[in-house]
Amino acid sequence: MNPFKKNGKSLSLFITAGYPEKESLGQQILFLQEQGVDFLEIGIPFSDPMADGPVIQETSSIALKNGMNLDLLFEQLSAIKRQVQIPLVLMGYLNPILQFGLSSFLEQCESLGISGLIIPDLSFELVQSKYRSTFESHQIPLIYLVTPTTSDTRIKQIAQVSQSSFIYLVGQNKITGSSYSLSTHAKRYSEIKSLCGEVPLFLGFGISSSAQKKEAFTYLDGVIVGSAYLQALSLGKEEEFIENLVS
């Protein structure tokens, strides 16, 4: 069963664990769940991210200063486990996960019912050659990123191993938070969607408005909104932002 497959379109939000306050995570998850968000991507703060734009970098920096770490993240998720009714995806970089211990990390994820992992600096090839059996033994799907320039062959390979999760379509070859016109890539988005078959394809990196969300819904299965929400959160306008986004 794929927890990300649904009859309609999906809206996901990215939040940074430990931001804006050390204990904000549980409150954020339950608040966004109440607002009708379909699933959440939880960022594990890291000092040297490779794909994150300035907004997410700043939230990670603040979260680290607040004292967020993997032990605390798992503790906070455990405290609200019974209240969470939507899929949770963890997004982090490989170095902190290896320092924690990959098997220990996956065991924690499994016990908490985490629905998937996004690890941008863990390549598809490295997983297949070195880590595949470890991830499969813990039944935690890896979610891979593709871009409009990813080859058709590679997209098909990724789709074959993503039957229990989704594929994350990076809207353009830039860091998170960069604005762009979806229509520029509309034809390619549709082609990628066809290559994915039954695997849901969600668009992220730069989605910031209800209008963009609705446009993306015409090509794809859903959107993931990150920087724009975190920016609204930093200004204390998260409720207004969500109200406008879901409209």
Q: Measured between alpha carbons, how far apart are the two ends of the chain, in Å? A: 29
Q: How far apart are CA 89 and CA 69, in angstroms?
A: 16
152 catalytic residue (yes or no): no
179 pLDDT above the threshold of 60: no
221 pLDDT above the threshold of 50: yes
Contacts of 35 (CB under 8 A, 6+ apart): 242, 246
Q: DSSP character for 83?
A: G
Per DSSP, what are the bridge partners of residue 94? none
Looking at 52, 215, 221, 238, which residue is catalytic? 52
Each residue's pLDDT tens digit, 193-211: 999 999 999 999 888 889 9
Contacts of 172 (CB under 8 A, 6+ apart): 147, 148, 178, 180, 185, 205, 206
Q: How far apart are CA 112 and CA 88, in angstroms?
A: 9
Q: How far apart are CA 22 and CA 5, in angstroms?
A: 32
Q: How far apart are CA 228 and CA 207, in angstroms?
A: 7
122 pLDDT above the threshold of 80: yes
Contacts of 136 (CB under 8 A, 6+ apart): none
SS3 content of the chain, % helix, strand, coil (to 5): 50, 15, 35
* Residue given tokens 């607002």 in the structure block: 35
Q: What is the CA radius of gyration of the chain?
A: 17
Contacts of 90 (CB under 8 A, 6+ apart): 41, 42, 44, 109, 114, 116, 117, 118
221 catalytic residue (yes or no): no
pTM strictly above 0.85: yes
212 pLDDT above the threshold of 60: yes
List the domains of the chain with CATH numbers: 10-246 (3.20.20.70)
20 pLDDT above the threshold of 60: yes
Looking at 23, 34, 41, 239, which residue is catalytic? 41
Model confidence at 48, pLDDT cuts 50, 70, 90, reads: confident
